[in-house]
Amino acid sequence: MQVNVLPTPSDLAVAVADHVEERIGASDGPFALGLAGGRTPQAAYAELTRRPVDWERVMLWLGDERWVPETHPDSNAAMARRTLADAVGARFLVLDHGLGDPDRAADEYARVLAETLRMRYGFPSSEVIVLGLGEDGHTASLFPGTAALAERDRSYVANWVPAKEAWRLTATLPLLWSAAELVFVVAGTAKANVAARIIDDGEPFPARVAANGPAPVSWFLDEAAASGLRKIRR
């Protein structure tokens, strides 16, 4: 596990973009990049649009999505399309809300990922998956106490989140563990406590469980998010 602490959110965005650009440049074939939703990754995506990346061989997909149409302001697909996919012309795999049922949409997305991405450990594999961190320790839409955390057979599922009173569609732990690298991006003082409990103390929040798989893990935090770290600072 590598922990990188940057002074400001702007520095964080540049560092994450540098890291992803380097990973793409070091590969010589198709490159699958899983995208996190939420506010924190957006600046890194915008920074990536200014990089000389060979986007023709990059496949973008979503680590999770809210069960809303892409026209909804909460849609992760809309954010990722606006900030990155459309700006660079990369192929972007999105969930089909038009199927009318979250379970059907998750199953169909799992099928598309399996047909499009290379397989590793029996699951679709990405070169990099970008992940966020919630104040409750969730990542993707793997919230504490929800059914998706126990899934070991499917790669993508619909997950009812009681705390949100909403359906979320999410990559499962086996799909995250199949990646070549997981990149966590964390910003703000609101995340400092849970980041320290996960990184320093190894508490089994969903994000820590994801990080405990076989995939190498890189953490990128701004100084505010890293302010609670006691044991690991780089």
Mean pLDDT for the stretch of residues 199-211: 97
Cα–Cα–Cα angle for 70, 41, 194, nearest 5°? Answer: 115
| Selection from 31, 17, 61 nearest residue 220 by Cα | 17
- List, for residues 46-93, the tens digit of each pLDDT value: 999 999 999 999 999 999 999 999 999 999 999 999 999 999 999 999
- Please state, rounded to an integer, the average pLDDT across all residues of the chain: 96
Give the number of C-alpha atoms closer than 13 A to the C-alpha of residue 109, restricted to the C-beta side: 30
pLDDT at 217: 98
pLDDT at 234: 46
Structural domains in the chain, CATH included, are 2-222 (3.40.50.1360)
3-class secondary-structure state, position 223: coil
Please report the DSSP string for 40-109 in residue order: HHHHHHHHHTTS---GGGEEEEESEEESS-TTSTT-HHHHHIIIIIHHHT-EEE---GGGS-HHHHHHHH
Tell whether the model's pLDDT for residue 232 goes beyond 80: no
Instruction: Compute how many other C-beta atoms are within 10 angstroms of the C-beta atom of residue 135.
Output: 12
Token output for 167: 């359906």
Question: Alpha-carbon distance 219 to 132, whole Å?
Answer: 10
**Of 42-56, 68-82, 181-195, 220-234, which gets the smallest average pLDDT?**
220-234
Strand 156-161 with 166-171, pairing: antiparallel
Mean pLDDT for the stretch of residues 179-207: 98
For the question of whether the overall pTM of this predicted structure is more than 0.95, the answer is yes
pLDDT at 231: 78
- List, for residues 94-126, the tens digit of each pLDDT value: 999 999 999 999 999 999 999 999 999 999 999
